[in-house]
């Protein structure tokens, strides 16, 4: 082997010399030269194998589904910090810590939770048990214990004197179990102004607290069923998220059709609450931790230009997921794939001989799943001035699909242009920008930044031709098997190139 290397060496020298001549002859040729060559070489070190192994690590049992506040989340955050340190990416905090801590209460959900219907038959009772995960998922902040009671249908569970609307009027819910819809009777995409009036009543927290204030003991929340730890906690209130299987059984024999009732509320804006005559038991085994502490993990590559380094580009995504409810919720594409892509970009950038001229921050959020609390804390305690933060690229689910989606790309066409350009040069995927129409509620980390005036987009992946399959959002099916490693590699390479371009742009102002 050695001998042969020596034989071809002179040819290599000639070839390289010819290549550099071609490059020197003019930048119009497609041959990249100098810095661009180095950037391209670094871009190609990003591999789907490495990114996939990051996802594998993140969804593993030892991190327990990454619920912010838990020791398992902390272990995961430590792992991220250890990689940043290994790659010599400096801590986001000048004081030397990768962790930005904030108060974050959390609730653990253990095995043994149940939802069942009690049907009286000839003086005896038949119990119909529902299946965990596809028929019910325990409430992520439920009290611990058991409640058996009649189910009262309370529509959206809203008491809004200012809107002349009360789902609790005329029904006695003391000690009862409620069946409640999520959201409010008006949708934000139909009439934004009207929705703004209803907005305070649309939060899970409001609905739960209003139910408790009315003396209810439990709730079947018509929500998926998907898991969600984003709610208030009341020790005496026991609830579960349920779907069609449970709702159909509650309505059976009541002489009412569920869909028609919901439709009637929305059309007439009149509550349709009633006692269903159905008895249910909800049993949950949980443990609340009011003193939980959460953390964002933050690393920074300081810009190489003495002036431009005072401006910042953030690459972010949430590190957390739902924890165990009661089984492990892996959160592979929500949002381990984003974390893997961020790690891929961070490693490539740290090893690239060409440094970005602007500073680049890697911001792994905690508690996105618990009220988007990590990004809220960051924008109120920024480690870099927000007015000097030129761009925030957030990521949600870049691991399932074959096209690149850019939420709010249409709101920031120049910003999106950098992604399109990088895609056109190196990646060649279908890339699609959409508008961020509803920022009325913080559903994503970008909302927090947009409210503060920071240009923000969210990059993810979608399927060009969606494959019909069982839903895998906030349940146990969001697992490793659903992941497409190649799209992660492409998105990581695309973002690496786009961030390097943005960091070198003489004037970068997406605010105008």
Residues that bind Zn ion (CB under 5 A): 334
- Map residue 410 onto helix, strand or coil: coil
Please, which residue, 311 or 334, has the CB nearer to Zn ion?
Answer: 334
Please, which residue, 334 or 445, has the CB nearer to Zn ion?
Answer: 334
Rounded to whole angstroms, the Cα distance separating 321 from 294 reads 12
Picking from 265, 254, 257, 237, the residue whose alpha carbon sits closest to that of residue 155 is 265
Please, which residue, 48 or 458, has the CB nearer to Zn ion?
Answer: 458
Please, which residue, 117 or 332, has the CB nearer to Zn ion?
Answer: 332
Task: Output the CA torsion sign for 269, 201, 165, 225.
Answer: positive
For strand 136-138 and strand 238-242, is the pairing parallel, antiparallel, or unpaired?
antiparallel
Calculate the alpha carbon distances from 211 to 116, 214, 225, 238 in Å: 21, 5, 19, 11
Name the burial class of residue 8, with classes exposed (0-12), middle (13-18) and buried (19+) by CB atoms within 10 angstroms of its CB. exposed
Rounded to whole angstroms, the Cα distance separating 260 from 264 reads 6
Distance of closest approach, residue 391 Cβ to Zn ion, in angstroms = 23
Rounded to whole angstroms, the Cα distance separating 18 from 15 reads 5
Please, which residue, 36 or 462, has the CB nearer to Zn ion?
Answer: 462
Please, which residue, 334 or 504, has the CB nearer to Zn ion?
Answer: 334
At which residue do the structure tokens 């929705």 appear?
Answer: 195
For strand 218-222 and strand 177-181, is the pairing parallel, antiparallel, or unpaired?
parallel
Distance of closest approach, residue 368 Cβ to Zn ion, in angstroms = 7
- Map residue 166 onto helix, strand or coil: strand
Please, which residue, 77 or 158, has the CB nearer to Zn ion?
Answer: 77
């Amino acid at each position: 082997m050695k001998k042969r290397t020596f034989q071809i060496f002179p040819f290599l020298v000639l070839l390289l010399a010819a290549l550099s001549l071609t490059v020197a002859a003019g930048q119009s040729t497609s041959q990249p030269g100098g810095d661009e060559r180095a950037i391209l070489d670094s871009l190609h070190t990003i591999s789907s194998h490495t990114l996939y192994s990051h996802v594998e690590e993140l969804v593993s049992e030892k991190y327990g589904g990454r619920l912010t506040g838990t020791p398992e989340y902390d272990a995961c955050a430590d792992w991220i910090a250890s990689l940043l340190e290994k790659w010599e990416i400096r801590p986001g905090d000048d004081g030397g810590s990768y962790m930005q801590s904030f108060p974050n209460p959390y609730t653990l959900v253990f095995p043994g939770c149940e939802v069942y219907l009690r049907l009286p038959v000839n003086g005896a009772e038949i119990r119909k048990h529902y299946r965990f995960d596809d028929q019910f998922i325990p409430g992520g902040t439920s009290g611990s214990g058991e409640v058996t009671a009649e189910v009262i249908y309370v529509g959206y569970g809203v008491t809004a004197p200012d809107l002349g609307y009360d789902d609790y009027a005329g029904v006695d819910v003391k000690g009862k179990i409620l069946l409640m819809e999520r959201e409010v009777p008006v949708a934000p995409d139909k009439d934004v102004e009207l929705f703004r009036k209803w907005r305070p009543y649309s939060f899970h927290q409001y609905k739960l607290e209003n139910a408790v204030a009315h003396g209810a003991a439990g709730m079947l929340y018509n929500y998926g069923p998907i898991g969600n730890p984003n709610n208030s906690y009341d020790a005496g209130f026991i609830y579960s998220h349920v779907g069609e299987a449970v709702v159909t059984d509650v309505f059976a024999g009541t002489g009412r059709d569920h869909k028609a009732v919901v439709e009637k509320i929305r059309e007439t804006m009149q509550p349709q609450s009633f006692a269903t005559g159905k008895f249910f038991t909800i049993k949950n085994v949980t443990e609340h931790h009011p003193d939980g502490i959460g953390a964002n993990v933050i690393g920074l590559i300081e810009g190489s230009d003495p002036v431009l380094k005072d401006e910042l580009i953030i690459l972010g995504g949430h590190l957390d997921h739902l924890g165990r409810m009661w089984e492990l919720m892996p959160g592979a594409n929500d949002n381990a794939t984003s974390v893997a892509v961020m790690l891929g970009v961070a490693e490539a950038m740290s090893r690239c001989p060409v440094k970005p001229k602007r500073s680049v921050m890697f911001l792994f959020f905690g508690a996105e799943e618990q009220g988007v609390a990590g990004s809220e804390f960051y924008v109120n305690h920024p480690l870099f001035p927000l007015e000097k933060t030129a761009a925030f690229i957030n990521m949600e689910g870049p691991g399932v699909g074959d096209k690149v989606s850019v939420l709010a790309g249409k709101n920031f066409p120049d910003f999106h242009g950098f992604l399109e350009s990088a895609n056109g040069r190196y990646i060649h995927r279908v890339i699609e920008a959409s508008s961020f129409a509803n920022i009325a509620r913080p559903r994503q980390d970008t909302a927090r930044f947009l409210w503060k005036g920071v240009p923000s987009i969210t990059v993810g992946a979608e399927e060009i031709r969606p494959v019909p399959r069982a839903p895998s959002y906030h349940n146990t099916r969001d697992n490793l098997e659903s992941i497409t490693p190649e799209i992660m590699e492409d998105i990581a390479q695309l973002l690496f190139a786009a961030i390097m371009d943005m960091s070198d742009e003489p004037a970068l102002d997406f605010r105008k």
